[in-house]
Chains A and B, each alone.
Chain A
Amino acid sequence: MSAVTLSGLSVTIDGHEILRPTDLTVESGEWVTVIGPNGAGKSTLLRAVGGLVRYAGAMTLFGRPAAGLKRRDRARLLATVPQTPAVPPGMAVLDYVLLGRTPYIPPLGRESPADLAAVEAVLARLDLAGFAGRRLESLSGGERQRVFLARALAQGATLLLLDEPTTALDIGHQQDVLELVDQLRRDRGLTVLSTMHDLSIAGEYADRMVLLAQGRVVATGPPRAVLTEALLGEHYRARVRVLDGAQGPLVVPIRPS
């Protein structure tokens, strides 16, 4: 079954069509990464799928029309890690990850033992058990990124929307986080729809890539079909050399002479 299907989905904000009518299908268990220059509409596409911005056109999530989904039901199907998640002052890691259980807790209710158990399992899986009592502000960038991911996993959703999950991280931590996402995807049958700026790393992990430029899809397919010197040169206006790597094409920027 398809996790996401978009047909003719477009987003208009303040009279500007940020995303032109777009068709896209993400199969269950797939990792699809959206790339494109700044302002191409990558984050907007993710926010539309997440139900956070008004859109025109049709969308289904796991076969159900997205338009009829209640906010809580949507939150059980998909979890979002935004580009720069808020860090509430003074909040402990355990409490932060427990926020992920919100779609299961009645509006005026409190966490059940089942919610607590779910969160403890997620913390253990991400090697965060020792951090449960730490304040979120006191963690390093890499640790925080794992906590953000933990909250998303605690939602129990099978579709993860990751908006630039590695932006703030050094390359070692970038690899750690993406390896973790990939393992989780295999263990739990998750579907991942992400945006990324680092093209080589993006290509190494994605099953399929979508290149957006000026609000429309200009290329889609496996990384080798999308990460080409011609496409990147045209749409990023960048001079790059694309080398053949073991896990996928490696994109190297070349200074114009």
Chain B
Amino acid sequence: MTATRPAGLRPRWLLAGVAAVLVAAFAGLAFGPVRLNPLAVGAQLFDLVPGVSVHSGLSEREAAIVTELRLPRVCLGLLVGAMLALAGGTYQGVFTNPLADPYLLGVAAGAGLGATVAFVLTHSFTATSAVPVAAFVGALGAVGLTYGLGGRYRTPATLVLAGVAVGSFLTAGQSFLQQRYVDTIREVYSWILGRLSTAGWHDVLLLLPYVVVAGTVIVAHGRALDVLSVGDEEARSLGAHPVRTRYLLIVAASLGTAAAVSVSGLIGFVGIIVPHTVRLLAGASYRVILPLSMLFGGAFLTLADLAGRTLLTPNEIPIGVVTAFFGAPFFILVLRTSRRLR
């Protein structure tokens, strides 16, 4: 007989998630186009701990590769992956729709248009500091527009349809701009495919507060999302406030997603595949899905980035391509085996 404990995050799953993050982070630091001794990298990391002084044996240049290039990139991968996977799980919960992803309400189209506008206006391929800001504003503007048009008190379906309309409209705007300013196509295209390659501490610090706030708010609502799974009317008869909960969670997830895409571009698939894999393996309660999606999402994206920058050295494969290329078959595998387990 199955254990009859209420759904919740089991310690062994939490442990597995933390272990995945640590393994992915260490792999991301130890491996790359420049070959370094993994043990020396480990020693170098210990050296970063305040009060600890270890001589790693790495040269000054090699140490800089670890701490100045790889470390911020790994941190950014963890944050972006955690945020996208969390937002995907959240959207699937508030819309009780397994196909929902973080881009459902127009975040991607808005960010894409914002970034394109920035590329067109700055006309400079190096001074792209305006791009994250423009993408962020575009993403939030799109979600705001969707919410304004879809109506706060209507059904979730209205909201999704409004998101489709807003998304198409903004994408059309972006295509129009690209056609008018053909010289930006390459930049825009590379941005859309997603990248962590320009990662610096600046991006990490920019994103961190959003992930912390959105993560705290959303994970605290795990049970509330479980209540929403019986539909709005039943949730109300149980004393819950589905409209208010949905509104709050959409705001939190959209803010976090907008911040993530503004620094990383449009990395697809993480928001769908990670929450579903967690759901299939660890349980259907959002008290399990939300925190584990953050951990495994961060680990997954960090490993995807590692694959993207090492498989075709010295070239990089765009991370959006890697997530789909490796993520899709893995997801199918989980889908098939877990069905067999039932």
Contacts and interface: CB of A to CB of B under 8 A. Distances in A.
Interface of A: 50-52, 71-76, 79-80, 82, 85-86, 88-92, 94-95, 98-100, 102-103, 105, 107-111, 116, 130, 132-134, 155
B193 interface: no
A132 B284 contact: no
A134 B3 CA distance: 10
Contact of A108 (B1, B5, B8, B221): B221
Contacts of B221: 108
A132 B233 CA distance: 25
Contact of A95 (B220, B231, B236, B285): B285
B231 A86 contact: yes
Contact of B239 (A74, A85, A109): A74
Given A95-B7, A110-B223, A116-B6, A103 B238 contact: yes
Contact of B238 (A91, A130, A133, A155): A155
A50 B237 contact: yes
Q: Which 6 A-B pairs have the closest CB atoms?
A: A133-B2, A90-B284, A75-B239, A103-B239, A88-B229, A132-B4
B6 A52 contact: no
Interface string B265-286: 0000000000000010001110
B23 interface: no
Contacts of B283: 90
Given A100-B238, A103-B238, 15 more contacts: A51-B237, A85-B230, A86-B231, A90-B283, A91-B284, A91-B285, A95-B6, A98-B6, A99-B238, A107-B224, A107-B241, A110-B8, A110-B223, A111-B6, A133-B2
Given A88-B284, A108-B224, A94 B229 contact: no
Between B7, B221, B229, B238, the greatest number of chain A beta carbons within 10 A of the residue's beta carbon is seen for B238
Interface of B: 1-8, 220-221, 223-224, 226-227, 229-231, 233-234, 236-241, 279, 283-285
Contacts of A89: 284
A111 B4 CA distance: 14
Nearest to A89: B284
23 contacts: A51-B236, A52-B233, A71-B236, A71-B240, A72-B239, A73-B239, A75-B238, A82-B234, A85-B234, A86-B230, A90-B279, A90-B283, A91-B284, A92-B2, A95-B6, A95-B226, A99-B227, A100-B238, A102-B227, A103-B238, A107-B241, A108-B223, A110-B8
A134 B221 CA distance: 25
Nearest to B285: A95
Contacts of A50: 237
B223 A80 contact: no
Contacts of A111: 6
A102 B240 contact: yes
B230 A99 contact: yes
B241 A71 contact: yes
A132 B241 CA distance: 27
B220 A94 contact: no
Contacts of A98: 6
B227 to A, nearest CB: 6
Nearest to B221: A108
Between A51, A76, A107, the greatest number of chain B beta carbons within 10 A of the residue's beta carbon is seen for A107
Given A90-B284, A105-B223, A107-B224, A82 B240 contact: no
Contacts of A132: 2, 4
Nearest to B279: A90
Between B1, B7, B221, B229, the greatest number of chain A beta carbons within 10 A of the residue's beta carbon is seen for B229
A91 B229 contact: yes
Contact of A75 (B1, B7, B237, B279): B237
A18 to B, nearest CB: 16
Contacts of B233: 52, 82
B229 A102 contact: no
A75 B227 CA distance: 14
Contacts of A71: 236, 239-241
A191 B337 CA distance: 48
A91 B4 CA distance: 12
A80 B231 CA distance: 14
Contacts of B284: 88-91
A99 B6 contact: no
A139 B223 CA distance: 23
B196 to A, nearest CB: 33
B279 to A, nearest CB: 7
B169 to A, nearest CB: 29
Nearest to A90: B284
B237 A52 contact: yes
A99 B227 CA distance: 6
Contacts of A76: 239
Contacts of A94: 4-6
A113 to B, nearest CB: 11
Contacts of A108: 220-221, 223-224
A154 B316 CA distance: 57
Contacts of B241: 71, 107
Contacts of B226: 88, 91, 95, 99
Contacts of A52: 233, 236-237
A120 to B, nearest CB: 9
Contacts of B229: 86, 88, 91
Between A89, A102, A103, the greatest number of chain B beta carbons within 10 A of the residue's beta carbon is seen for A102
B8 to A, nearest CB: 8
